[in-house]
Amino acid sequence: MYVSNKVKDLPPYLFSRFQKRKEELKAIGMDVIDLGIGAPDLPTPKFIMEKLCEEVQNPINHRYSPYDGSKEFREAVAYFYQSHYGVELDPETEVLTLIGSKEGIANLIQAAINPGDTVLIPDPGYPVYKTAVHLAGGNSAYLPLDLQNGYVPMYDQVSEQDKQDAKLMFLNYPGNPTAATVELNTFLEAITYGRQNNIAVIHDAAYDLVTFDGYKSPSILQVPNAKEVAVEFGSLSKSFNMTGWRIGYVVGNKELIKALHTYKSNIDTSQFLAIQKAAALALRSDLSDVKKHNEIFKARMERMYQGLLEAGFQVEKPRGSIFIWPKIPRGYTSAEFSEKLLEEAGVIVTPGTAFGPSGEGYIRISLSVELERIDEVIRRMKDFTSKGVSLS
Ligand SMILES: Cc1ncc(COP(=O)(O)O)c(C=O)c1O
Q: What is the pLDDT of residues 267-303, one digit of tens each?
A: 999 999 999 999 999 999 999 999 999 999 999 999 9
Q: Which candidate, 126, 239, 120, 210, places its Cα nearest to that of 172? A: 126
* pLDDT score, position 388: 65
* pLDDT score, position 40: 87
* pLDDT score, position 18: 83
Ligand 1: which atom is nearest the Cα of residue 103?
Answer: 9
Ligand 1 geometric centre to CA of 124 (Å): 15
- How far is Cα 235 from Cα 242, in angstroms, rounded to an integer? 9
Q: What is the pLDDT of residues 47-62, one digit of tens each?
A: 999 999 999 999 999 9
**CA–CA distances in Å: residue 97 to residues 64, 73, 101, 279, 375:** 14, 7, 9, 11, 40
Probe residue for ligand 1, chosen from 102, 103, 172 as the CB with the greatest number of ligand atoms within 8 Å = 102
pLDDT exceeds cutoff 90 at 19? no
Ligand 1 geometric centre to CA of 95 (Å): 18
Ligand 1 geometric centre to CA of 7 (Å): 21
Cβ(65)–Cβ(271) under 8 Å? Answer: yes
Mean model confidence pLDDT for the chain: 95
User: Residue 390: which pLDDT band, with cuts at 50, 70 and 90?
Assistant: low
Domains of the chain by residue range: 5-44+288-385, 46-283
Q: If you take atom 5 of ligand 1, which residue's CA is the nearest one?
A: 102
Ligand 1 geometric centre to CA of 30 (Å): 30
Which homologous superfamily does the CATH classification assign to the domain defined by 5-44+288-385?
Aspartate Aminotransferase, domain 1 (3.90.1150.10)
Amino acid at 44: T
pTM of the model: 0.96
Ligand 1: which atom is nearest the Cα of residue 236?
Answer: 11
Angle separating helix axes 334-345 and 14-27, nearest 10 degrees: 20
| C-beta 176 within 6 A of ligand 1 | yes
Q: What is the pLDDT of residues 160-215, one digit of tens each?
A: 999 999 999 999 999 999 999 999 999 999 999 999 999 999 999 999 999 999 99
| C-beta 326 within 6 A of ligand 1 | no
* pLDDT score, position 1: 81
CATH number of the domain at 46-283, please?
Answer: 3.40.640.10
Q: What is the pLDDT of residues 142-160, one digit of tens each?
A: 999 999 999 999 999 999 9
Mean pLDDT of 341-365: 96
* pLDDT score, position 16: 75
Angle separating helix axes 46-56 and 273-283, nearest 10 degrees: 150
| C-beta 125 within 6 A of ligand 1 | no
* pLDDT score, position 392: 45
| C-beta 366 within 6 A of ligand 1 | no
Q: What is the pLDDT of residues 108-141, one digit of tens each?
A: 999 999 999 999 999 999 999 999 999 999 999 9
Ligand 1: which atom is nearest the Cα of residue 172?
Answer: 1
* Cα within 13 Å of Cα(383), Cβ side: 12
Ligand 1: which atom is nearest the Cα of residue 104?
Answer: 9
Tell me what percent of the residues of the chain surpass a pLDDT of 90.
Answer: 92
Cβ(130)–Cβ(265) under 8 Å? Answer: no
Ligand 1: which atom is nearest the Cα of residue 243?
Answer: 10
| C-beta 323 within 6 A of ligand 1 | no
**CA–CA distances in Å: residue 226 to residues 106, 186, 324, 349, 356:** 22, 13, 30, 37, 28
| C-beta 110 within 6 A of ligand 1 | no
pLDDT exceeds cutoff 80 at 13? no
